[in-house]
Amino acid sequence: MLLFILGIVIFIAGLVVSVALHELGHLTFAKIFGVKVSQYMVGFGKTIWSIKRGETEYGIKPILLGGYISMAGMFPPLKATETSDTALGSQAASEAALPEESRAAKTRRNLFGTLVQDAREASATTIGDTDPKRAFYNAAPWKRLIIMFAGPFMNLLIAAGIAAIMICGFGQATPSVGTVSSCLPATPTASCVSADAASPASTAGLKAKDVIESVNGKTIQSPDQITAVLQRSLGKTVHLGVLRAHKHLTIDVTPAAAERQKVDATGQLLTTSAGKPLTGTVGSIGVSLGFTLVPQNALAIVPSVWQETGATYQLIGNLPSGLVGVWNSTVDHTQRSTSGPISIVGVGRAVGDVASVTGAPVSDRVYTILGLLESLNIALFVMNLLPLLPLDGGHMVGALWEMIKRGYARIAKRPRPAPVDLARAMPLTVVVVSVLVIMSAFLIFADLVNPISIT
C-alpha cells in the first residue's frame, strides 16, 4: 500500500510539473509580447497560497487537474468587432450608430446571445484601467498564435525529455525472442513429441533474447507486427534483421503450418461474431515474442515522440468507438483494452499499481512510470491543439483566421478587418465543455470500478 501511495504521489508531482510548465509557456510569451497577465494559477478552486510579483499573482489551488493564466482582454468588446460605417449596409450602419449598451441589449435576445455578451463583458473586466493595447485581442495575430502554442509545446518538450531518459538511459522497447521451441506443435497447448518436426525458428538458428529489428527489410515496432507477417507467410521465406550480442545478423526463416488464433494485418487477435477466438491454419515458427530494452542514441528520440503523438491522435480519432468499448467492458466486467481511452484518475491509479508491483525490478517500474508520464504529456499536447474553445487550439484557429483575413485585405488594398470575435463561439464552447465534463466523469467512474491493468 505504501508503494501504491508513493506511485500516486509521484504521478501527482509529475502532473503538477506538467501543468505548471504548460502555463509557464503561455505566461512567458504573453509577457514577452506585452500582454497583461494578472494571474498564474496551478489547479482550480479556492486559492490556498499565492504571492504577487509585479502585476501578476502566482498561486496554487487545491484541485490539481489543470491550471490557467488570466490574460487581459481574451475577447474583443462589441465595438472592436464592427467594421467602419462605409463598409456596412444601411441597416447595419444605423445599428452601429447606437450606444454600445443598446447594441449589447440587442445581442441578449436569446440564450446564445446572452452567452456571447457575458463572455465579452467578463473579458472587458480583465482589462480595467490597463492600456487596451496590452489586451490579448489587440496583440498581433502571430503573437497570439505563439502565446497559445507555447503551452502545449512545453508538454511536447517534457515528453521529449522523458523520452530521452527512457531511450538513451534505459533503452527503447524493441521486439525480441522470448523462448524458442524445439518443435512446432499443432496447437499452442500441445507438447512436443518425437514425431514432431523441428520448429522453423530452431532450424534457422534463432535464439532466446535475439532482438528483432526488422522483418523483410521493414522496421517493426511490436511483436504483433511480427506475428501478422509470419501468419501470412506460410511456406515463404521471411528475412529477420536480428541484433545478437551487439552484432547485426540476417536470419531467414520459413513459417510452417500450425493451428493458431488468427490476427489481422496489425497483429490484433481476431474473433468470431460471437466473440470467440477465430482460429485456423497459419504460418508459425515456434517462438514466443516479447520486448527487450535496447539503448539508442539521441537520434531515436524524435521518431519515438512522433510515433507516440500519432498514436494519440489516432486514439482521439477513434474516441467514440473507444468509449463504447469502455462502456461494454465496464458493464460486462471484462478486461479493458490498454489502448483505449483513460482518465487522469486512471493514469494515476496505473502509476500506483506499477509502483506497488512486487518482484519486478525497480528499473522496470521506473521505466513504466516514465512511459506513463510521457504519454500524459503527449496527450496534453494533442488535446490542447484541438481546434475547439476553450482549448488552446481554438484560440490558435482564431489567430490563424485573422492572419488570413489581414493578408487578404493587404493584397486587396482594403482596410484592416476587425478582430475575429471568438466570443461568438461561446455557445459551442459550452457544448464542448459539457461533453468533456461528461466524458471525464464517465472515464473516471470506469477507471474506479474497472481499471485498466498494465501490470
Look at residues 248, 225, 243, 249 and name the one whose alpha carbon lies nearest to residue 294: 243
Angle at 315 between CA 313 and CA 321, to 5 degrees: 135
Active-site pick, 23, 82, 308, 402? 23
β-bridge pairing 37-44 and 287-294: unpaired
Residue with cell 504521478: 11
Q: Is 23 a catalytic residue?
A: yes
Q: Which of the 8 DSSP states describes residue 168? A: I
Residue 323 cell numbers, joined:
468509449
Distances (CA, A) of 230 to 87, 214, 223, 235, 365: 68, 13, 11, 10, 31
Residue pair 371/166 in contact by the 8 Å Cβ criterion: yes
User: Which ranges of 60-206 does DSSP label H, i.e. alpha helix?
Assistant: 90-96, 100-107, 111-127, 141-164, 200-204
Residue pair 238/224 in contact by the 8 Å Cβ criterion: no
Tell me the C-alpha distance between 299 and 164, whole Å. 10
Tell me the C-alpha distance between 184 and 188, whole Å. 9
Tell me the C-alpha distance between 302 and 315, whole Å. 20
Distances (CA, A) of 269 to 189, 256, 304, 379, 452: 17, 19, 25, 26, 18
Residue 287 host element (H or E): strand 287-294
The residues, any chain, with a CB within 8 Å of residue 276's CB and separated by 6 or more, are: none
β-bridge pairing 211-215 and 56-60: unpaired
Burial (CB count <10 Å: 0-12, 13-18, 19+), residue 171:
middle
Backbone angles phi, psi at 92, to 5 degrees: -65, -35
Indicate which residues carry an active-site annotation. 23
